[in-house]
Structure 1
Amino acid sequence: MELERISVVLRPRAPREALDLGAAMLRANAAAVWSAWFAFTVPVFVLCNALGVLLGLPWLGLVLVWWLKPLFDRLPLYVLSRAVFDRAPTWRETLRGQRQWSWRSTLAGLSWLRIDSNRALRLPLDLLEGAPRKQRSARWKVLRRRIVADTSLLTYGCLQFELVLFLSVWLLALLLIPHEWRPESLSDFFGRDVHDASTRWILLGATVAYLAMSAIEPLYVACGFALYLNRRTQLEAWDIDLAFRRLRARLQGLGKVLGVLLLCAGALPLSVHAAAAETPKPVVSSLDKVFGQAPDSEDRRFAEAATEVYRDPRFGGERKVRRWMFKYTPKPDTRVQEMPFPLLARVLAAVFKGLLWLLLIAAGAALAWFAWRWRGLLAPAADAPALALSHGLQVSAEAPAPLPADLAGATRALWQARRRREALALLYRGCVEHTAQLLQLPLSAEATEADWLRQAAAIEDSARAQRVVAIVRTWQFAAYAGRYPDDAAIEQLLSGWPAQTGAST
């Protein structure tokens, strides 16, 4: 992912601040989003309602349009995902670009995941990453952690906004109808007017519902996409990665500028410096010439100003304040009024008290059952896979593929095929596994390059320890700085252990 091209300020945000970011992205690309939205959804809306009228079920069009929301959500996501990196595509490019994305996740969203409250967060994970099903499931468990409540709240909030817009249009129309044309009551309206023109009223309601959906659904997708970007930034430290990339580019440009300045400085004649050194500096004779006044004159002026200020009645002296107060303050009545039916009151109080205790016990039992039932989801697993590793190696829930028997040959083949990153990743993985076997250590998905550099010091053979350090350093330079070695350096790394397990060094 080319993070340096992104137009959004990457930093960890609170979930509600990320929702504001989604609304801002939608406002900045409103023309591209809604042009593509209406270009695709208007024909679908017309076809669905025409099908409902032909079948004699005019309400079917409204239901179909609402059910096809996951299909429509692909359009705003395509526009926003391109707009944050380069530019917003046109509606024709958006429609043509739908062929690049898989349709399996959309079919799932139209079937068993249709009522999923986390659809806004799941959509960019399924469409933008395109990972296999098992890996996508593992990534989803990590991605949704700690923001499930926010995504569900986003879903229900947008649903309420659609309902508010739908009802507001009808209330506005009711206010604009002249009084003499209004029905006598709602029962007459629904019993006579709506029943007589049921098809027209349903089509009109479907149109209003479609307009409300068109106003809110792109906002729903944009906010979900912003939550996705924010979660990836939190887990993968995109902001730190981008800062290091910009720092590297800035230092490269600064090196050229410093070289030019040094050449210019070396060309200056030495006589200029000598003349500047011989120029006599003026000598100050007294403090009066330094400050331009007597040493204590400023103190006297400050004392006179402070005395003048304290003479002002607003800053000093005594004041008299008059205010109205009640002469006789009424005392609160603390007498307990006697109840007309003390026995019945006590019985009812005891009954309600018992019911409240039973309700409290039931709530505690329900919470305990819920905690026991979902304890695996509430507590993060110790071996949970990372969401994504931004530099090559990926750890998934399933067992990794075994290393090739000829590690050197496989690495050399990838390198000669111009797949340099994959070649170094394979060599680094083989180095890690062979080092773990040599030191009799368990493989850990949480171990970093720095950990393996420290483990290399425990190898008794100094030649092997130096080769481990060389391979790890080569992988770090390639993964983090984009600096790849030449062919001779690769051949030197592949000439012995661990690329060739039979070699002594």
Structure 2
Amino acid sequence: MQLERIGVALRPRTSPEAMDLGMTMLRAHARAVWLAWFAFTLPIFLLCQALAWLLGAPWLGLLLPWWLRPLFDRIPLYVLSRAVFEQAPTWRATLRAQWAWPWKRTLAALSYLRVDTNRSLRLPMELLEGVAAKQRRARWRVLSRPLVGVASGLTWTCIAFELTISLSLCIFAVWMLPSESLPDSMRDMNQAFTMPAFRHALVWIVWGVTYLSMSIVEPLYVAAGFALYLNRRTQLEAWDIDLAFRRLRQRLLEAGVAMVLLACIVGAPSIARAADKHADAEPAPQNIAEVFHQPVNDKDALFARKAAEVYRDPRFGQEHKVMHWVLKKPWDLKPPKPSTDSSGGWLAIFGNLGSGLLNLGLWALLAAVVAALIVFAVRHLRGISMPAIKPAEKPKALRSSVVHEAPVPDDLPAAVRELWREGRRREALALLYRGSVQRAAVALRMQPPIDATESDWLRHARSLEDAARRERLIIIVRTWQLAAYADRYPGDADIDALLSGWPAQQVTP
């Protein structure tokens, strides 16, 4: 085995520590992982989208990539399993090596094991060990016994993380759109979906966001599962102890070589010949697959027989945890240990007494808070009425719609000019805005909505058939917005231009 070449510190870790190790391994070899990932998955993803487009079923563009994820998981696992031994392959070597890896278990993962929540832990065992079916089941029972909940939790966490990324990207895209271009209601949304251009653009955006979020999360998922697998193998097979003995053996061999050289110098050729024979008998280094393969050496019949006996032993791989509760009493002051310093014992007694009193005080405070909450709830349920608070009237300057504030005079341009000459510019523009949108509603043959805002009238203006009228109404609404919300008023010439035609003046269509 080549445990000496492993690039991570082998030691038993907790499950969170092991998953964090997987993330660290992925960051260290991110370039190799994601280059191979995109080179393998992107063509397949585009082929799935083309198939969904030809069949006229956009939902296939989401279902097929999701179903093929066990196939995609082979890529990051291959890179990390080689990179952990400081042999990170290129993306071309990764793609070529996929033909040599077993496909039977991948087909199983794509069929009856597709909804297995322990795929991240099962994947390295099936692809790296390559054992028979009967022994694989026994191996899985041993490996997964303490990690089933952890692996399932990792799966659901990654699903939630991926959904968060997808929804965040979609919300960000909607947030960047101007408010007047968004649908006003669900009815308008349904009408927008009937437009082919809008529907096709939305489908491609959803496909792209789904692939991007999958490409971010899936390698993290595989790396965390691979690190859990390595940690479990370290716990079961004591790889850290094995590695320590190998290093000790190497130091002893180096010391032995030094002694052989010294013997050669003083003229002991027999010892030198023995050392040469020992060097010739040294086994050649094995490949990476033999590190993960079970049993460690198929040629060792004794080891294989003993390993089979251990597998059959019902006590193999079992763990027993005993837990019991002990009531902790703060007033039970244990006598201090004998000490040469007499002041230390008294300090310990006072410290324990103070901590006990503080603990009792906190419990009393908690009881008082709970009692106060119960009293408040009882009084509230009995119908103790609180004085009604009238909602504050919305300031006139911040109202979003001023269409129904006052009736519009018949001679709208004269009324607007009179207010403008008196210096009441805001009132003049408000009157112009009210009159314009009311006459636009008449032109559109609609009842002016009581809660319509400036953005609503900008959308309604696009329904006018006359381009000149459409532009004039948009300019009037924009002018009122700048005055109402930014205190930016037009000049006298601009006012005269706005009052020179429709909708300020009623013109027969």
TM-score normalised to the size of structure 2? 0.52
Please give the residue correspondences for 1:49-448 in structure 2 after superposition, counting only pairs within 5 Å: 49-185=49-185, 187-188=186-187, 190-196=189-195, 197-257=198-258, 391-392=296-297, 421-422=299-300
Describe the shift of the 1:447–1:49 C-alpha distance in structure 2 as closer, same or farther (beyond 3 A): closer
**Are the counterparts in 1 of residues 131 and 293 from structure 2 also a CA contact under 8 Å?**
no
C-alpha displacement of 1:70: 0.5
Describe the shift of the 1:28–1:390 C-alpha distance in structure 2 as closer, same or farther (beyond 3 A): same
Q: Counterpart amino acid of 2:178?
A: P
C-alpha displacement of 1:172: 1.1
Per the alignment, in what secondary structure is the counterpart of residue 99 of structure 1?
coil
Deviation string 1:444-493 (CA, Å, 9 cap, x unpaired) is 85999xxxxxxxxxxxxxxxxxxxxxxxxxxxxxxxxxxxxxxxxxxxxx
Q: Please name the residue that 2:454 is paired with.
A: none
**Are the counterparts in 1 of residues 161 and 217 from structure 2 also a CA contact under 8 Å?**
yes
- Rg: which structure is higher? 2
What is the aligned-residue identity percentage? Answer: 55
Aligned counterparts of 1:249 and 1:165: Cα–Cα separation in 2: 49
Aligned counterparts of 1:183 and 1:127: Cα–Cα separation in 2: 51
Q: Please name the residue that 1:9 is paired with.
A: 9
Aligned counterparts of 1:55 and 1:423: Cα–Cα separation in 2: 57
Q: Please name the residue that 1:355 is paired with.
A: none
Describe the shift of the 1:226–1:423 C-alpha distance in structure 2 as closer, same or farther (beyond 3 A): closer
Q: Counterpart amino acid of 1:55?
A: L
C-alpha displacement of 1:104: 1.1
Unaligned runs of 5+ in 2: 267-291, 317-509
Q: Counterpart amino acid of 1:422?
A: D
Describe the shift of the 1:259–1:446 C-alpha distance in structure 2 as closer, same or farther (beyond 3 A): farther
RMSD: 3.1
C-alpha displacement of 1:84: 0.6
C-alpha displacement of 1:181: 2.0
Per the alignment, in what secondary structure is the counterpart of residue 7 of structure 2?
coil
Aligned counterparts of 2:182 and 2:301: Cα–Cα separation in 1: 77
**Are the counterparts in 2 of residues 15 and 227 from structure 1 also a CA contact under 8 Å?**
yes
**Are the counterparts in 2 of residues 32 and 79 from structure 1 also a CA contact under 8 Å?**
yes
Per the alignment, in what secondary structure is the counterpart of residue 98 of structure 2?
helix
**Are the counterparts in 2 of residues 49 and 203 from structure 1 also a CA contact under 8 Å?**
no
Aligned counterparts of 2:148 and 2:315: Cα–Cα separation in 1: 29
C-alpha displacement of 1:81: 0.5
**Are the counterparts in 2 of residues 165 and 212 from structure 1 also a CA contact under 8 Å?**
yes
Deviation string 1:252-300 (CA, Å, 9 cap, x unpaired) is 11334467789999xxxxxxxxxxxxxxxxxxxxxxxxxxxxxxxxxxx
Per the alignment, in what secondary structure is the counterpart of residue 174 of structure 1?
helix
Per the alignment, in what secondary structure is the counterpart of residue 137 of structure 2?
helix
Aligned counterparts of 2:311 and 2:13: Cα–Cα separation in 1: 34
Per the alignment, in what secondary structure is the counterpart of residue 100 of structure 1?
coil
**Are the counterparts in 2 of residues 58 and 199 from structure 1 also a CA contact under 8 Å?**
no
Per the alignment, in what secondary structure is the counterpart of residue 231 of structure 1?
helix
Deviation string 1:22-76 (CA, Å, 9 cap, x unpaired) is 0001001100111011111111111111111111112211110111100100000
Aligned counterparts of 1:38 and 1:243: Cα–Cα separation in 2: 39
**Are the counterparts in 2 of residues 194 and 201 from structure 1 also a CA contact under 8 Å?**
no
